[in-house]
């Protein structure tokens, strides 16, 4: 399992980094794909627990909420959430009339996935669209990847005490601290490259490109 994770990381890391750097439609397609995969994972977990959400509504709901967050449109976001609530309520009420045992749990999952994934995914898109969005995205996402990978490796090699036996039995307490330390170290290194090593007067291509150059050189 550890070997598979390392191989996957080696293959995916350059691809994901390039898509983040490219931005625009490439990065948008990446985030939409990840949100879609996350939605189907939500559905799979729900079915594994005996819960039947409205699958036809969850994916469009995730995209609509993410779009509202991206465009910073309170009117669109409010309309998307209202349509989601009304549609989910009507669908699960109809399901109850036709013999569904516990439609309330299905309704909750139908609402939870678009709100959870849509809001977070929308901010991933909005973050990259900021004037310094490339710098922020290349700070946050690699920190998460490094923290997760480091926690997994240390947990597999030296972990003993489980963090949450029922919720996630493979998570270990020691790995949580490793994840925090590794993520913080990466962010601090990135800040150091961006502040102390990159002087605006010495860079003719702008602070963003200068920071990236020093990051890879460091």
Structure confidence at residue 202 (pLDDT): 44
Structure confidence at residue 169 (pLDDT): 60
- Give the N- to C-terminal CA distance of the chain in Å, as an integer: 31
What mean pLDDT do residues 141-165 have? 69
**Closest CA relative to residue 153, chosen from 1, 32, 2:** 2
Cβ–Cβ under 8 Å, residues 134 and 21: yes
Give 23-69 pLDDT, tens digit per residue: 889 999 999 999 999 999 999 989 988 899 999 999 999 999 999 99
Q: Between 147 and 129, where is the model more confident?
A: 129
| pTM of structure | 0.74
What mean pLDDT do residues 86-96 have? 95
The residue ranges of every structural domain in the chain are 2-128, 133-217
């Amino acid at each position: 399992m550890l070997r598979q994770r390392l191989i996957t990381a080696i293959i995916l890391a350059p691809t994901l980094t390039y898509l983040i750097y490219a931005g625009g439609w490439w990065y948008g397609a990446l985030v939409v794909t990840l949100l879609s995969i996350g939605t189907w994972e939500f559905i799979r977990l729900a079915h594994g627990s005996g819960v039947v959400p409205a699958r036809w509504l969850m994916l469009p709901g995730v995209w609509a909420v993410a779009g509202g967050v991206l465009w910073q449109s309170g009117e669109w976001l409010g309309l998307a959430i209202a349509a989601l609530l009304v549609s989910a309520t009507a669908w699960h009420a109809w399901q109850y009339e036709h013999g569904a045992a516990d439609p309330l749990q299905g309704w909750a999952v139908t609402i939870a996935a678009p709100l959870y994934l849509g809001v977070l995914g929308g901010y991933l898109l909005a973050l990259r669209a900021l004037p310094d969005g490339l710098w922020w995205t290349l700070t946050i996402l690699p920190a998460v990847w490094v923290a997760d990978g480091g926690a997994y490796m240390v947990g597999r090699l030296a972990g003993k005490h489980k963090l949450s036996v029922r919720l996630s039995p493979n998570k270990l307490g020691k790995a949580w601290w490793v994840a925090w330390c590794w993520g913080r170290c990466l962010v601090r290194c990135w800040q150091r490259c961006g502040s102390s090593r990159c002087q605006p007067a010495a860079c003719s291509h702008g602070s963003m490109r200068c920071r990236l150059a020093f990051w890879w050189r460091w």
